[in-house]
Amino acid sequence: MSIEKDLTRIADALENIADTMSSEKITISGNEGETIMEAVAKAVNVPVATIIEPPPAPFSDDGLDETPVSNSVELDSDGFPHDVRIHSTSKKKLQKSGQWKKQRGVDAELVKTVELELRSVMSIKPTPPVVAEPTPPVVAEPTPPVVAEPTPPVVANLTTFPELMVKITGGLTSGIFEHSHVNKVINNNGIASLPLLAARPDLIPTIEAELFE
C-alpha cells in the first residue's frame, strides 16, 4: 500500500511540474518572458510548437455548465459536478483525492461560493411523478325486486239472509226438504232458530250448502 501511495504522490507532482513548465515565465540568459520549455527548445535548436488554448466551454447565465443535472452527470469525490468557473477546463481529477483539478490562480472565495452553490443544487430532491388516483368503479345500486301485490281472491256473490229465506221457502214448497231438516242443519251450526242466522251472515254459505247438497 505504501508503494502505491508513493507512486500516486509522484504522479501528482509530475503533473504539477508539467503545468508549471508550460505556463510560468522565467528569465534565462537575459531573455525575459521566456518559459522553460521555450528556453530548452532554443538550447537544443528545436522549434517550439504553438499551443492553442481551447475555447472555454459555454456556460449559462449563472456560470454553470448547461448540461442538465441527472444521474449521468459525472461527479468528483466531493459530489460536485464540473464547473468551468473554478475547475480546470481539462476536466481532470487529482489521482490522490479524486477531486476536480482547480484552475490555477483561482480565487479562494470564488471557489467557496461556487461550491456552496453546487452543494445546494445537488441537494435538491427530484419531484416525484404525479400518480393519478384510480377512479373507483361505479357500483350500480341493486334494483329492488318488483313485488307483485297479491291478487285478492275472487269472492263470489254471497247469498244474503233474505235470499236464503226465499230459497228455503222454495225448497219447502217444492218438497226438496222439510222444516225438520232445516232446523237440524241450523242447530248443527250452533244457531238455535232460523231468524238468528241473520246475525251471522258468515255462516250462510255453509248452511246453504248443507241444505241444498
Q: What is the pLDDT of residues 81-123, one digit of tens each?
A: 999 999 999 989 999 999 999 999 999 999 999 999 888 878 8
Band (64; pLDDT cuts 50, 70, 90):
very low
Q: How many CA atoms lie within 13 A of 186 on its CB side?
A: 20
pLDDT at 141: 81
How far, in Å, CA of 183 to CA of 177, rounded? 11
Give the residue with greater pLDDT, 194 vs 111. 111
pLDDT at 112: 92
Give the residue with greater pLDDT, 71 vs 177. 177
Say if residue 146's pLDDT is above 50: yes
Residue 41 lies in a domain: yes
Final residue of a domain: which of 30, 52, 74?
Answer: 52
pLDDT at 14: 60
Cα–Cα separations (whole angstroms), residue 153 to 148, 156, 186, 205: 14, 9, 28, 16
How far, in Å, CA of 105 to CA of 87, rounded? 11
The one-letter code for the residue type at 49 is A
Q: Are residues 28 and 44 in the same domain?
A: yes
| Domain that includes residue 207, residue range | 161-211
Q: Are residues 10 and 43 in the same domain?
A: yes
Q: Report the domain count for the chain.
A: 3
Q: Are residues 29 and 73 in the same domain?
A: no
pLDDT at 151: 73
Residue 185 lies in a domain: yes
pLDDT at 67: 43
How far, in Å, CA of 58 to CA of 65, rounded? 7
Residue 141 lies in a domain: no
Q: Tell me the three cell numbers of residue 211.
A: 241444505
Residue 98 lies in a domain: yes
pLDDT at 173: 92
Backbone angles phi, psi at 59, to 5 degrees: -140, 160
In the three-class reduction of DSSP (H, G, I as helix; E, B as strand; rest coil), residue 101 is classed as coil
Predicted TM-score (pTM) above 0.85: no
Cα–Cα separations (whole angstroms), residue 8 to 13, 22, 175, 211: 9, 22, 147, 135
The one-letter code for the residue type at 60 is S
Residue 191 lies in a domain: yes
Residue 155 lies in a domain: no
Q: Are residues 170 and 113 in the same domain?
A: no
Band (153; pLDDT cuts 50, 70, 90):
low
Weakest mean pLDDT among 36-40, 119-123, 188-192? 36-40
Residue 131 lies in a domain: no
Residue 149 lies in a domain: no
Residues 23, 26, 28, 34: is their CA dihedral positive or negative?
A: positive
Cα–Cα separations (whole angstroms), residue 165 to 19, 79, 199, 203, 204: 144, 120, 14, 14, 10
Band (73; pLDDT cuts 50, 70, 90):
confident
The share of the chain scoring above pLDDT 70, in percent, equals 63
Give the residue with greater pLDDT, 58 vs 134. 134
